[in-house]
Every structure is written in C-alpha cells, then in structure tokens.
Structure 1
Amino acid sequence: MYFRKAELQDAKRLAHVHVHSWRTTYQGIVSDEYLQSLSVEEREGKWTQILSGSHDTHVCTVEEDEIVGFVSFGKERSGEFEGELYAIYLLKDHQGKGIGEKLFDIAASGLKKQGFNTMWIWVLKENPSKHFYYRYKPVLIKEEMLTIGKERHREEGLLLNLNEKE
C-alpha cells in the first residue's frame, strides 16, 4: 500500500472508485436505478475540475499504482464549522485492511496542519459503514433530509474534536 496526494491524471481512477464504492455501499439503501445511473465519465469530469485546482485529496494505491481508495477534505463548506471530511471511499475488496483508518488519519492530520481543531462529517444514517466514524467518538450535532435520485434519506452531521482523536 502506498499513500500519496492525488494528481490530475488520477481523475478517471478516482471516479471509478467513487462510483463503484457507491454501488456497493449503498446497495439496498439507494435505489438501484440511481446507483446504475452513476457514471464514471461524469465523475471523471468533476474530479478533473477538483484536481485542477488547490485540493486536499489523497489516494491509496496498491500494485501497479491501482487506486483502491481516497479521501478528500478541507475547510467546512457552510462556514458553520472548521474542517470537513468531504469524501472517503474505498473499494469493497480492500475494506477491513486498515486503509480506511490510514486515509482518515491523513485527513485528520491534514486538517490539523491547516489549523482546524474539528472535523465535520456527513454520513447517511442507513450507511452500514457509519460505525467506522463512531469509533472516533464524534458528537451527533444534527440530522437533515437529503434527496438522492427520487428518494429522501436522512443524513447525520457528526463533529469530531481532532485534539481528542489522538
């Protein structure tokens, strides 16, 4: 395993991980119609845009530089909190090997280097992997409804004190 900052040429492989992680993680939660509508090509465009600017996206690669997971983080977008975990995704076959924890640690230490003491995290209430975040003892601050496709889902807003994470 190797961890590094994402580069512009990683956009397509990030999009692949993003789409396929959604399809496995949210199967049975989000409609199959929506999951099948997700497009690697469309996500590649979004990742190209993100990676073309200033960003804090890091990847985990395995043999032959195959990207199996990534994390993206930075200043919290609403202005209500300090730092935010924008996204963390890992291909199903690579879960349970410590990669998610390492990516999460990269985000936490990156936010601390930016001067942030807290990390804001949005997670779908029905996400079977949400226990991953709860291991770090965040505080549930709020819940909101989110529309994904044609369905409404509840999201949990978690706040993690980065100084207590250590």
Structure 2
Amino acid sequence: MKNYLIRKAVPTDAAGIANVHINSWKTTYKDIVSDEYLDSLTVEDRTVRWDGILSGSHQTYVCQLEDGSIAGFVSIGKEREKKYEGELYAIYLLKEYQRNGIGSDLFTFAMDALKSQGFSNMLVWVLKENASKHFYYSFNPVTVKEQIISIGGEEYDEEGLLFTL
C-alpha cells in the first residue's frame, strides 16, 4: 500500500514545492553545476516563483506524504517550441524518497495526464552529465534534440528525449 498521494498542486504548496526543487537541485546537480550557483539558490526565492505559477493556470502535481509534506512534484504542459506535443517541464524528488517507485509513479502520472489531453508524445530535457538521466531510459525514449544551455554563467549540454504516449 502506498503511503503517498499524487494530486494537483494548490497555491499553499508553493513552499513545499520550492523546498523539493532547491534541495533536489543541490543533490542532483552537485559536481555538475558549480557550488557557487547551487549555494545561491534559496527556498524563499523559489517559493515566490512557485506561488506565482500556482496562482495561475498550471499543470503541476505533487507527491504528498501521509504527514502532509511534499516529497516530489512534476510539471507538464504543451511543448514550448511547438515542434512536439507535450512536455515534462520539471520532475523532482527529494533524495531520501528516490529509488522507491515514487519517481516512476510521478513520471507515469505525467504521461497519462498528457495522453488524456490528446497528446501522443512528450519531450523531456535532461543534462547529459546528470547521472539520474538513466531513469528516463527505462521508459524507452528517443533522443531527438541536443542544445547548450547556460546555468549560472556556465554552459552545459542538454538532450531532448521524446516519449511516445
């Protein structure tokens, strides 16, 4: 029996989502993105950003634990460049909840949500150096794009993975 619920995020989830977002970045991107940049990220700043997102039209879903805290989240919508249909904008899970099925449940939830909206594919961008990217490969994507992005003034290679829904 699962001890968590995946549900649509509401504005009062902003701080919990921000906590997951920042702390996931600090563990996932350690030794990839500069410590200086990661140290500059704050839950307070990200809470303001998420408060704005959650106050408007959005498709962000949280993994809420039995105690009411948020262990992870996923955010989806239309693919931004309009070359594909759907896009997974973000999926993050606190390190202590990784490798127990929650990430797969969030990912599958995102795919199902987009499919129910009539989308037939979903694009996901992932840093090439991200060791966690192998998680995505279990869902059989095709690499369709590559690009260079800037994070904290440094450049990183990113690949676009396309999933059939």
The TM tier, using the shorter chain, reads over 0.9
Aligned-pair CA distance for 1:63: 2.9
SS in 2 for 1:107: helix
TM (normalized to structure 1)?
0.95
The separation in 1 between residues aligned to 2:67 and 2:135, in whole angstroms, is 28
Number of residue pairs matched by the alignment: 162
State the identity %. 58
Poorly superposed stretches of 4+, deviation over 4 Å: none
Task: Name the aligned partner's letter for residue 50 of structure 2.
Answer: W
Q: Give me the CA root mean square deviation.
A: 0.7
Counterpart position of 1:38? 41
**Residue 115 of structure 2 corresponds to which residue in structure 1?**
112
Q: How much has 1:79 moved relative to structure 2?
A: 1.0
Q: Given the alignment, which residue of 7, 10, 23 partners 1:7?
A: 10
Normalising by structure 2, we get a TM-score of 0.96
Cα distance in structure 2, aligned partners of 1:77 and 1:34: 25
Could you tell me which of 91, 94, 113 is aligned with 2:94? Answer: 91
Uncovered stretches (5+) of structure 2, i.e. residues with no partner:
none
Tell me, in whole angstroms, the C-alpha distance in 2 between the residues paired with 1:2 and 1:159: 27
**C-alpha separation in 1, matches of 2:51 and 2:104:** 26
Provide structure 1 residue ranges, at least 5 long, that are not aligned to the other structure: none
> Please, which of 135, 138, 145 is the counterpart of residue 138 of structure 2?
135
